[in-house]
Amino acid sequence: MDDGDTIKTPDKLKVPFVVTPPLARIEANNSQTLRIFYIGEHQLPGDKESVFWLNILDIPPKPSADDQTKQYVQLAARSRFKLFYRPSELVGDAHDAPTKIQWRLIKQLGKNSLISYNPTPFYVSLNRVSLVRSDGRLIKVTPNMLAPHDTVTLSVDESINVGSNVKIRYEAIGDLGEIIKGEMPLIN
């Protein structure tokens, strides 16, 4: 597990979780259950979610002696999964968090930027974000994950009149992997 810093080596990471088993051999057509334990070594905030990353490295077996005479490609794959620690005392519902985001369009140095503020104690994983012009045309914006009580600036590639009637259309990923769609006006 890591805290989002992919450069740190495992001995430098400060994560309050242990994954067991740390290493497992999985035969063909079988599966493996991982257990994640909170060990509480590091105090986590009680007023907002914390995010960590579960890394799973899949290393295929070495080919048998008979197969080594044949040409083959061997790949190792690393999968990263978000793990959210949600304190029990949080008020509100994570499913409603995307509807609470405040969006503002600004122009700086001749370029448009979309400012997003997450006033909730929950992380919001945005899958898709678009500006909807008054004529219905969509302008795609590169999405990002919004941390609790954080402001993120997203660049807008196309020029838009800041005062025009523009709305935000978004898709966020919910706790169970479901897509939460919404549309809302920009704030001034």
pLDDT tens-place values along the chain, 188 residues long: 898 888 888 788 888 999 999 999 998 899 999 999 998 777 899 999 999 999 999 988 877 777 666 777 888 998 999 999 999 999 999 999 999 999 999 887 778 889 999 999 999 999 999 999 888 889 999 888 999 999 999 888 787 776 678 899 999 999 999 999 999 999 87
Residue range(s) of every CATH 2.60.40.10 domain in the chain = 94-185
The pLDDT, as a whole number, for residue 163 is: 67
CA distance 146 to 49: 11
Q: How far is CA 184 from CA 20, 65, 129, 181, in A?
A: 43, 61, 11, 10
Q: Radius of gyration over alpha carbons of the chain, in Å?
A: 22
Query: Does 94-185 carry CATH code 2.60.40.10?
Result: yes
Whole-model pTM? 0.86
88's tokens:
């029990």
- The whole-number pLDDT of residue 166 equals 87
Burial (Cβ within 10 Å: 0-12, 13-18, ≥19) of residue 122: buried
